[in-house]
């Protein structure tokens, strides 16, 4: 049986259109850097401009309505755009897309028109302003405080590990802030779109093993207009859940692409040890096969979720299942690659003998780092247990742009 999706002639014509557009707008020498930490200034500027051009074509958010700055295209055409962008390995500027579902589900029509076009046209860069020093996995414990002055809120507090591409690059910081210290947990937060240029907001980079792309955000008497509160002033937790539903893998991905796996297979295919091709070693073959299976299993979970999401299905554990598998296989494959490649996979991008320009070394670090954002391995297991009904706490999926309006409690 043939499980592959076969594009129609009209869809393949659209692919040619995308290819031609990319050939026109991205010179052939332009490529994403092996380590995004080392994005040079001029490359960043190029990527920012390309992002704007893609946005104005509707290709940053191809399936979303044109009225908000999306492309109004089918899922199939959106997949084609993504395939071609990935194939071309274009440099990308980081802007957290998870802001979009929160506004679509919980924003008023005025807020959708105010915030979405700038974001979807690639003009505005967004960072996720969730984690606090004492509120990481326990996000409901957010302590930053917003005080209502009528036509504006005054915000004080601190966030940490906020991912971005530079302090001066962000336009919006989105996330939960405590609005009512007397209200019960999960009913005491509001969800704010904070302009990053507001007086009193400062971003300071953290020195982490994956570079300096995570920030401490200090918020000191920052005045934010009242209409930057998304959802009610006690609904911040619920809005955050819509974001986390996607961040935990609920939106899925339509591709089975794993460049680190492809590199590994190529390395093994070309390398020799003790005068014999490495690929003849049964232990190496076993490690490669396990890498391949783990990576593809993860990709299939992700593809399933992409299909479930776009067919408007109600998800339970599937998002966290996919997220958990992705985090675990990353760790396992990094171990396997180290066992086979030895010190070669620890040579950084500056080392002349580093294979694939140092990509395996970047993967060694990122496999560890990626276990944290959007909920750790343990947290994904907690969510799966709750959604399978085997925990003392039961929970169901938060509304997403695909399911909102069909669930109790959603707008
Ligand atoms: C590279 C990177 C990018 C990030 N990007 C962002 C961002 O853009 N925006 C943002 O707001 N945040 C971001 N984060 C923060 C991330 O969401 C948190 O690191 C994560 O939620 C874990 O919180 P924590 O670091 O405070 O760890 P803690 O919550 O303190 O957890 C410490 C350990 O305890 C375990 N643990 C905690 N609770 C439980 C439990 N109930 N049961 C079992 N074990 C538990 C955890 O699994 C972990 O091993 C990022 C983090 C990293 C590393």
Q: What is the pLDDT of residues 74-103, one digit of tens each?
A: 999 999 999 999 999 899 999 999 999 999
Least confident of 40-49, 124-133, 143-152: 40-49
Which pTM does this prediction carry? Answer: 0.94
Instruction: Please report the atom of ligand 1 found closest to the CA of residue 377.
Output: 47
Distance CA 303, CA 282 (A): 31
- Which is higher by pLDDT, 255 or 388? 388
| Ligand 1 center to 247 CA (angstroms) | 13
Average the pLDDT over 149-164 and give the result.
Answer: 97
Distance CA 229, CA 354 (A): 48
In this prediction, residue 8 carries a pLDDT of 96
pLDDT surpassing 90 at residue 338: yes
pLDDT surpassing 90 at residue 256: no
Does the domain at residues 9-93 carry the CATH identifier 1.10.540.10? Answer: yes
- CA distances from residue 265 to 68, 344, 356 in whole angstroms, order as listed: 43, 14, 12
| Ligand 1 center to 86 CA (angstroms) | 29
372 lines ligand 1 (CB under 6 A): yes
| Ligand 1 center to 375 CA (angstroms) | 6
| Mutate-to-test residue for ligand 1 from 134, 161, 206, highest number of ligand atoms within 8 A of CB | 161
- CA distances from residue 292 to 76, 214, 237, 258, 283 in whole angstroms, order as listed: 26, 31, 38, 9, 14
Residue 361 sits at φ, ψ, to 5 deg, of -70, -40
| Ligand 1 center to 302 CA (angstroms) | 22
In this prediction, residue 1 carries a pLDDT of 64
pLDDT surpassing 70 at residue 156: yes
Mapping DSSP onto H, E and C, the string for 172-236 reads EEEEEEECCCCCCCCCCEEEEEEECCCCCEEEEECCECCECCEEEEEEEEEEEEHHHEECCCCCH
Select from 3.40.50.720, 1.20.140.10, 3.40.50.1980, 1.10.150.300 the CATH code of 251-388. 1.20.140.10
| Mutate-to-test residue for ligand 1 from 35, 371, 374, 376, highest number of ligand atoms within 8 A of CB | 376
CA-nearest residue for atom 1, ligand 1, is: 369
Average the pLDDT over 342-350 and give the result.
Answer: 95
379 lines ligand 1 (CB under 6 A): yes
379-411 per-position pLDDT tens digit? 999 999 999 999 888 888 899 999 987 544 444
CATH number of the 126-234 domain: 2.40.110.10
364-373 per-position pLDDT tens digit? 999 999 999 9
In this prediction, residue 39 carries a pLDDT of 79
Where do the domains of the chain lie?
9-93, 126-234, 251-388
């Amino acid at each position: 049986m043939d499980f592959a999706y076969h594009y129609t002639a009209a869809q393949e014509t659209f692919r040619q259109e995308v290819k031609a557009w990319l050939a026109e707008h991205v010179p052939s020498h332009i490529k994403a850097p092996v380590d995004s930490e080392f994005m040079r200034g001029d490359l960043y500027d190029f990527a920012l401009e390309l992002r704007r051009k893609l946005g104005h074509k509707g290709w940053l958010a191809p399936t979303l309505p044109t009225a908000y700055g999306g492309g109004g295209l089918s899922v199939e055409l959106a997949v084609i755009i993504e395939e071609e962008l990935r194939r071309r390995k274009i440099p990308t500027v980081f802007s957290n897309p998870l802001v979009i579902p929160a506004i679509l589900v919980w924003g008023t029509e005025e807020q959708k028109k105010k915030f979405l076009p700038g974001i979807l046209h690639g003009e505005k860069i967004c960072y996720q302003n969730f984690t606090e020093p004492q509120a990481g996995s326990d996000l409901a414990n957010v302590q930053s405080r917003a005080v209502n002055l009528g036509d504006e809120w005054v915000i004080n507090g601190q966030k940490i590990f906020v991912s971005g591409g530079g302090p001066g690059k962000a336009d919006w910081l989105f996330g939960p802030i405590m609005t009512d210290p007397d209200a019960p947990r999960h009913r005491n937060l509001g969800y704010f779109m904070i302009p990053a240029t507001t007086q009193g907001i400062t971003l300071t980079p953290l020195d982490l093993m994956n570079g300096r792309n995570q920030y401490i955000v200090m918020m000191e008497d920052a005045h934010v207009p009242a209409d930057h509160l998304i959802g009610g002033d006690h609904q911040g937790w619920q809005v955050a859940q819509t974001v986390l539903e996607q961040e935990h893998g609920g939106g899925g991905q339509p591709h089975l692409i794993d460049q680190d796996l492809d590199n590994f297979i190529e390395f093994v295919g070309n390398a020799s040890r003790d005068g014999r091709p490495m690929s003849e070693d049964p232990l190496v073959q076993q490690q490669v096969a396990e890498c391949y299976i783990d990576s593809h299993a993860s990709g299939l979970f992700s593809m399933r979720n992409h299909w479930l999401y776009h067919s408007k299905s109600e998800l339970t554990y599937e998002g966290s299942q996919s997220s958990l598998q992705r985090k675990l296989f990353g760790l396992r494959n990094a171990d396997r690659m180290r066992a086979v490649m030895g010190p070669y996979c620890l040579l950084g991008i500056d080392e002349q003998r580093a294979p694939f320009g140092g990509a395996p070394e970047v993967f060694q670090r990122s496999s560890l780092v990626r276990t944290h954002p959007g909920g750790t391995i343990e947290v994904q297991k907690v969510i799966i247990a709750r959604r399978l009904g085997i925990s003392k706490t039961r929970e169901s999926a938060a509304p997403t742009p695909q399911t909102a309006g069909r669930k109790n409690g959603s707008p």
